[in-house]
Amino acid sequence: MYEKLEDQVVITPALLRTHLFEKPQASCILGWEDQQAVGFAFYFYNFSTFLGKPGLYLEDLFVSPEYRGKGYGKKMLLHLKQMAIEQGCGRMEWSVLDWNTPAIDFYKSIGAEPMNEWTVFRLTLH
């Protein structure tokens, strides 16, 4: 796993099936080359009280290592951007680990800006 967080992963195929199809809480798009899935983007909608509009939150963007550098990540992000515009969203947001320089550089190259004045908090529920 690229983020070096394998010890935190608890997802199962059953959980994916439940939250993508049976009781949808998130959605996924796939990047394809010919008949081969080469990447995915998981996302869900949130809401901004500042803007008074929904937002699209990108939870995960992944392209298989052998397909990186071919534009699949950018195509998926631009597709999500267009979807968000069509849905009336005010913004797209996502998180990136501060040491992931290649991802940060990529996101900046498409016009994304870091939100340095905000700190992410998490409350894990068990």
Per-residue confidence in pLDDT tens, the chain, 126 aa: 556 677 777 778 888 788 777 888 899 999 999 999 999 999 999 999 999 999 999 999 999 999 999 999 999 999 999 999 999 999 999 999 999 999 999 999 999 999 999 998 989 897
The CATH number that domain 6-109 falls under is: 3.40.630.30
Per-residue model confidence (pLDDT) at position 7: 79
- The DSSP secondary structure of 23-42, one letter per residue, reads S-S-EEEEEEETTEEEEEEE
Per-residue model confidence (pLDDT) at position 109: 92
Is residue 107 part of the annotated active site? The answer reads: yes
Domain ranges of the chain: 6-109
Helix (H) or strand (E) holding 17: helix 13-17
Q: Which of 43, 57, 72, 107 is catalytic?
A: 107
Q: In what order do the strands lie in the sheet with 27-33?
A: 27-33, 36-48, 53-63, 91-94
